[in-house]
Amino acid sequence: MPRGIAAGESARQLAKRLGRSPSTVSREIARNGGRDRYRAALADAAAYERGRRPKQAKLAQRPALRALVEAKLALCWSPEQIAGWLRRQSSW
């Protein structure tokens, strides 16, 4: 049984059912080919690709920094405490 766009639901109906804003649903449909060409599986794959980072995270690029952060976490420092401490350190 077709669901969503294939069943003829409007963007407003879909948004209400999904708990999203109608404008968000409308943009999603437009971004992925419009009502005539939208396919959920293809849209999901495209969203995954768009969400990937274009480069490695800073902790992946800098093993020494990662080790330092891991050491602070092992001492039960919060991420906020570590970030504040790193800001005060001029070498990082």
Q: Which residue has the tokens 């274009």?
A: 54
Cβ distance 82 to 69 under 8 Å? yes
Cβ distance 32 to 46 under 8 Å? yes
pLDDT of residue 32: 94
Write the CA distances from 12 to 3, 23, 44, 87, integer angstroms: 14, 8, 20, 45
Residue 38 tokens read as 């939208």
Please count the other Cβ atoms lying within 10 Å of the Cβ belonging to residue 39.
13
pLDDT in tens, the chain (92 residues): 678 898 899 999 999 999 999 999 999 999 999 999 999 999 999 999 988 878 899 999 999 999 999 999 999 999 999 999 999 997 77
Element (H, E) at 25: helix 22-31
